[in-house]
């Protein structure tokens, strides 16, 4: 979870209790930090550029066009196209428990240049071009995106003569990682019809259906009819992570759901998710969720109760 520094909190002006806004503007992007200190409903917000919103603290209920309402929590991000209206509820916000969120608006020119670079240097294996999604994309930050957001928050608030240059470099990496994260969601979503002739889609479907079993690169590359090295290269180029990282991501997503049942033991969860040992499960889970499985289960079930 990205955190605001004490320096930021002491220097910013709190002028309103609902969506108080602190903004920093550079050549290709603007960073806004929004804070809400009292309960509120149906607050509207819109940006004229594509925006990445990422929760820092507290809880929002998001109402978006063509989507069911959902909780927006720390460690999660949301990408919206330009001129997309957000309708937001703040059910738990108060002085001692504020809701804080950053919104990073990125110029379309910057995004277009990154897309051109991706299509020239890392084309998709299926011949389709990389494009910014024209729909709302809600996801949990992985370690890479978390570190970039943390760095961007520092850079925007730093008084450095070269920070435009620093931020531009970070924006390029952020855009690439978000698009690769979106690609993983497209491939792994059970609600989408995947092309039966796609080698990668076939392998990803197999992974999702066999998470509880041992999975290795040689077997997966055979199913894709590729050599192990070529399979690894194609997979990482398109999805942004290695096959093993993808498998662990899928296993952790499954574990997160299973741990919300207080009657399940940690051993039962990690075995059902295909992890061979408690220690490895603990290490991978904490790297993804920044909390141990036991603490996550206790926190989640206490919240539900």
Walk along the chain (305 residues) in steps of 10 and give the mean pLDDT of each run: 80 90 96 96 95 94 87 89 95 92 96 95 83 86 88 94 95 95 68 52 86 92 90 85 90 86 89 93 89 84 45
Q: Do domains 6-182 and 199-304 have the same CATH topology?
A: no
The span from the CA of 32 to the CA of 219, in Å, is 47
Tokens, residue 4: 């605001």
| Chosen CATH of 199-304 out of 3.10.20.30, 3.20.20.150, 1.20.1090.10, 1.10.10.60 | 1.10.10.60
Which pLDDT value is given to residue 16? 93
Contact 63, 87 (CB under 8 A): yes
Kindly report the pTM of this predicted structure: 0.67
Tokens 């051993």 locate to 267
Contact 263, 297 (CB under 8 A): no
Helix (H, G, I), strand (E, B) or coil at 274: coil
Tokens, residue 121: 């240097």
Domain ranges of the chain: 6-182, 199-304
CATH number of the domain at 6-182, please?
A: 2.60.120.280
The span from the CA of 14 to the CA of 33, in Å, is 11
Which pLDDT value is given to residue 85? 94
């Amino acid at each position: 979870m990205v955190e605001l520094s004490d320096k930021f909190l002491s220097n910013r002006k709190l002028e309103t209790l609902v969506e108080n806004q602190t903004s920093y503007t550079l050549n290709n992007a603007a960073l806004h930090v929004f804070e809400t200190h009292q309960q509120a409903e149906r607050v509207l917000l819109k940006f004229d550029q594509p925006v990445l919103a990422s929760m820092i603290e507290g809880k929002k209920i998001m109402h978006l066009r063509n989507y069911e309402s959902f909780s927006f929590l720390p460690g999660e991000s949301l990408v919206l196209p330009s001129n997309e209206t957000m309708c937001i509820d703040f059910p738990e916000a108060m002085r001692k428990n504020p809701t804080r969120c950053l919104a990073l608006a990125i110029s379309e020119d910057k995004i277009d240049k990154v897309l051109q670079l991706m299509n020239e240097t890392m084309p998709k294996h299926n011949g389709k071009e990389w494009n910014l999604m024209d729909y709302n994309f809600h996801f949990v930050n992985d370690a890479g995106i978390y570190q970039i957001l943390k760095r961007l928050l520092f850079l925007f608030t730093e008084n450095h003569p070269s920070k435009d240059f620093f931020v531009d470099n970070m924006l390029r990496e952020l855009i690439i990682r978000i698009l690769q994260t979106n690609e993983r969601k497209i491939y792994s979503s059970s609600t989408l019809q995947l092309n039966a002739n796609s080698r990668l889609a076939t392998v990803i479907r197999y992974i999702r259906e066999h998470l509880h079993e041992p999975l290795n690169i040689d077997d997966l590359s055979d199913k894709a009819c590729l050599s192990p090295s070529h399979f690894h290269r194609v997979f990482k180029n398109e999805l942004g992570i290695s096959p093993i990282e993808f498998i662990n991501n899928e296993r952790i997503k499954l574990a997160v759901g299973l741990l919300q049942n207080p009657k399940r033991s940690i051993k039962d969860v990690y075995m059902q998710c295909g992890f061979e040992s408690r220690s490895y499960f603990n290490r991978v889970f904490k790297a993804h969720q920044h909390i141990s499985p036991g603490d996550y289960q206790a926190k989640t079930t206490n919240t539900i109760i």
